[in-house]
Amino acid sequence: MPLDTPKSAPRKALSAPQKALRKLGLVRPIDLALHLPLRYEDETRIVRLADAREGQTVQVEGTVTHSEISLGPRRQLLVTLDDGSDTCTLRFFSFYPSHQKALAVGAWVLVRGEIRGGFMGRSMMHPAFHAGGGELPNALTPVYPTSAQLPQVYLRKVVASGLARADLSETLPPELLASLQTVVRAPWTLRDALRYLHQPGPDVSLDALEDRSHPAWQRLKAEELLAQQLSQLTAKRERDALRAPALRPRPGGLHEQLLAVLPFALTEAQRRVGAEIAHDLARPVPMHRLLQGDVGSGKTVVAALAAAIAMDSGWQCALMAPTEILAEQHFAKLIGWLEPLLTPLGKRVAWLTGSQKKKQRTEMLALIASGEAALVVGTHAVIQDQVVFQNLALALIDEQHRFGVAQRLALRSKMTATLKEGEPSPECRGTDFAGLQALPPEGRGGDAKRASGGWEPEPDAASGAEPHLLMMTATPIPRTLAMSYYADLDVSTIDELPPGRTPIVTKVVSDQRRHEVIERIRAQVAQGRQVYWVCPLIEESEALDLSNATATHAELSEALNRPRAAVAADLLNAEEPVPAEDGVLVGLLHSRMPVAEKKAVMALFTAGHMGVLVSTTVIEVGVDVPNASLMVIEHAERFGLSQLHQLRGRVGRGAAASACVLLYSPPDGGRLSETARERLKAMAETNDGFEIARRDLEIRGPGEFLGARQSGAAMLRFADLATDGHLLDWARSAAAQMLAQHPPAAERHIARWLGTKAEYLKA
Ligand code: ADP
Ligand code: MG
């Protein structure tokens, strides 16, 4: 790529407050104008000390009746203020002689601060003060979100100046202003709205400013949502202008072969989303699709079918999962199905993981570079620099919310690099490329045509090529989020579980009844069933996590094999499967274990030789053992709702009645927090991933769902999806209309609201 280095101009050094402004993203006048107050202070009134309540921030005016420097445990300036109704002690731990002078006995001062109580009487800590008797402002004073390096007074000045200088001219064409009127009565202009919120007039009350249904707020939120919709729509259009290989299933090809070897029939929902994906793949523009479906709904098969279409056409596929154990467990089946089909074609599956030995990795890299590996499965290792694909056409990302924007971009760039460096594999069959001549049907698979086939990408055009991208998630995105943050994605939903699953019964149980739970485990294991025990998440300390899991492992081994406690431990290393009458084999799995050991434990559990698997959250996603019918989650109150739901999805995969026990133990003698209780209640009340997602959004706000997307500074600052659905609906249709009919205005609107952040939204 030719490097276009701009001639660097000498840079002016920034002052400290300027740097602080930049850090807050306050660069252009419009950024300042859109930096709205966090709250307002009422400096218009003076409150009588006798009327001031504890915790209230007030302004009082009075005479200094006493002033001393106390040398107690900590040097401090203590000043007594008397306003005639009562007195108050002003306390300063850091002070200058100027403080003492201004607050000398007899001085008449205006003081502003938070009233604290206490047995020594009222006090204020480090109040703001100046000489009394001056004129009071006649309007509320805005208080801006800021940082330590940026004093409020300075910020107020630059914001006011930004507000005066910013171009606040109308971006909405008349017809959109008219349509806005149907959702917001008498909409304000942006200029009026910002003036109102930054510089409230003397008669504006705090209540009016805080009321986000006020027309000023409505206008801001509508504008913000419109900008978000516009930028995502633009991103989508830009993507639509890019090229990708058009991949079509061939009669008798890998896709059909895979369907034939599957041990089950696809559900209606799997067929439907499969068709949606196939439709995308057949187009010469990159797919950008999210496949969502509850835990256990069968997303992997759908992904495998998509991969089959791509590989059948001679292209490479990459499958990326967030953890190694997930990559292994989750895709074992998929590979089991696909590998036998690939072998006759002389193709292989390559693995890429962080823990791989160098020799093995080198081997894999060679397979990938030569194109012999049709399918590349792995963790983040897949997007490392050394990995060069011969012809990547389809990238599949599992549990997409665990990957960052940067990682997704990296995967996409793999494709671009590939196409620039060499032409696609001469073996490509039945594939055509946007802007290039389609292969004539007789060319498909025909040896003579393979090497030529109109494949030479134009040098420039290739730089726009992208792989198709399919992201999978078991955390369904609630509708409002899908419509806002994910508006640029196409979404396919598997809304049906494979037949024969029994609903999971979820019980919330206090840890005091732990022994009953252990009895239940004994009963399950006696019936030949298997049990997961998930240990608490202690975020502060991995070591604690571990000791906890180890202790639980010991406890369960002991309790379940009382006469033969020692046996179980030895059995872990036994080569032979353990007959049931020799006791219950309790395994332990945690993130610090060597990979080989993890694999060994998983293999024992998967094969059914291990009755109980104690683990930290490594099994959070992707483990598939249909015989497991009971899951115990210890300290369930520490887990997030969607995480609990994902964990629970590990049971109920077979026909046996399954249960999930959420053990909770409130912090020492205390009560569970409100949100923890709500989470557990939601879990007990519903098995429906969408309902869970909806409640999670309610309990926690959108952050969790957005994953890495939230770091893209694309978070809505003003609009609230829970209350502003009507504005979102308007913004969606307005964006499409604006982009089609008023592209320059649309561009201006995006630039105003997102500035440089717009780029990031496209990932
Ligand atoms: P998830 O959507 O959570 O990734 P998986 O793809 O892991 O779900 O599928 C869960 C289990 O269901 C797997 O054992 C898979 O083989 C099985 N499965 C998938 N589709 C079907 C189907 N149509 N009928 C029966 N079992 C299925
Ligand atoms: Mg899965």
Distance CA 332, CA 341 (A): 15
pLDDT at 412: 61
Res 753 pLDDT > 70: yes
| Centroid of ligand 2 to alpha carbon of 291 (angstroms) | 10
Least confident of 271-275, 388-392, 730-734: 388-392
Looking at ligand 1, which residue's alpha carbon is closest to its atom 13? 298
DSSP 427-484: T--SEEETTSPPPPGGGTT-HHHHT-TT----TTGGGGB--EEEEEESSPPPHHHHHH
The residues facing 317 across adjacent strands are 375, 394
pLDDT, one tens digit per residue, over 305-360 is 999 999 998 999 999 887 776 677 667 778 888 999 999 999 999 988 887 888 98
Q: Hey, what's the torsion of the CAs at 701, 706, 708, 714, to 10 degrees?
A: -90
Atom of ligand 1 nearest to the CA of 624: 14
* Alpha-carbon span 76 to 500, nearest angstrom: 74
Greater model confidence, 157 or 688: 157
pLDDT at 333: 78
- In Å, how far from its chain's centre is CA 474? 13
Between 547 and 666, the more confident residue is 666
Whether the pLDDT of residue 176 is over 80: the answer is yes
- pLDDT bin (cut points 50, 70, 90) of residue 407 is low
Task: Say yes or no to pLDDT of 573 above 60.
Answer: no
Find the mean pLDDT for residues 632-648. Answer: 86
Closest-approaching ligand to the CA atom of 291: 1
pLDDT exceeds cutoff 70 at 409:
no
Measured at the CA of 549, the angle between CA 545 and CA 550, to 5 degrees, comes to 115
Residue 438's pLDDT band, with cuts at 50, 70 and 90, is very low
Q: Are 264 and 337 in contact (CB under 8 A)?
A: no
Alpha carbon of 299 to ligand 2 centroid (Å): 6
Substitution site in 264, 325, 472 for ligand 1 pocket (most atoms within 8 Å of beta carbon): 264
pLDDT bracket for residue 720 (50, 70, 90): confident
Residue 404: its pLDDT value, please? 56
**Which ligand is the nearest neighbour of the Cα of 645?**
1
* For ligand 1, atom 17: residue with the closest CA: 298
The yes-or-no verdict on residue 460 having pLDDT over 80 is no
Amino acid occupying residue 52: A
**How far, in Å, is the centroid of ligand 1 from the Cα of 296?**
5
CA distance 270 to 732: 29
Q: Of 761, 170, 207, which Cα lies nearest the Cα of 486?
A: 761
Residue type for position 672: L
Q: How confident is the model at residue 715 (pLDDT cuts 50, 70, 90)?
A: low
Buried b (16+ CB within 10 A) or exposed e, 736-748: eebbeebeebbbe
Helix, strand or coil, per DSSP, at residue 319: strand
Contacts of 702 by beta carbon, 8 Å cutoff, 6+ apart: 481, 485, 710, 715, 721
| Closest C-alpha residue for ligand 1 atom 26 | 498
Cα 27 to Cα 35: distance, rounded to the nearest angstrom: 11
pLDDT of residue 713: 35
**Greater model confidence, 120 or 552:** 552
Note the pLDDT of residue 519: 92
Query: For all residues of the chain together, what is the average pLDDT?
Result: 81
384/714: higher pLDDT = 384
- 422 pLDDT exceeds 50? no
pLDDT band of residue 428 (cuts 50, 70, 90) is: very low
Tell how many helices (H) and how many strands (E) occur in the chain.
26, 23
Query: Model confidence over 262-271: pLDDT tens digits?
Result: 999 999 999 9
Split at pLDDT 50, 70, 90, the class of 706 is low
Average pLDDT of the residues in 666-681: 82
Rounded to the nearest whole angstrom, what is the distance from the C-alpha of residue 296 to the centroid of ligand 2?
A: 7
- More confident: 697 or 310: 310
**Residue-wise pLDDT tens digits, 71-111:** 878 889 999 999 999 999 999 988 888 888 999 999 999 99
Q: What is the Å distance from ligand 1's center to 645 Cα?
A: 16
Who lines ligand 1 at CB under 6 A?
264, 266-267, 270, 293, 295-301, 333, 474, 498, 624, 653
Please state, in angstroms and rounded to a whole number, the distance separating the CA atoms of residues 160 and 155: 8
Q: Is the pLDDT of residue 248 over 50?
A: yes
How many other CB atoms are found less than 10 A from the CB of residue 692? 24
Ligand number nearest to the C-alpha of 293: 1
Model confidence pLDDT, tens digit, residues 601-613: 888 898 888 999 9
Range of weakest confidence among 170-184, 545-559, 618-632: 618-632
Residue 447 reports pLDDT greater than 70: no
pTM of the entire predicted model = 0.68
pLDDT at 136 over 90: no
H/E run at residue 571? helix 565-571
Q: Cα(301) to centroid of ligand 1, in Å?
A: 7
Q: Give the ligand 1 atom nearest the CA of 622.
A: 7
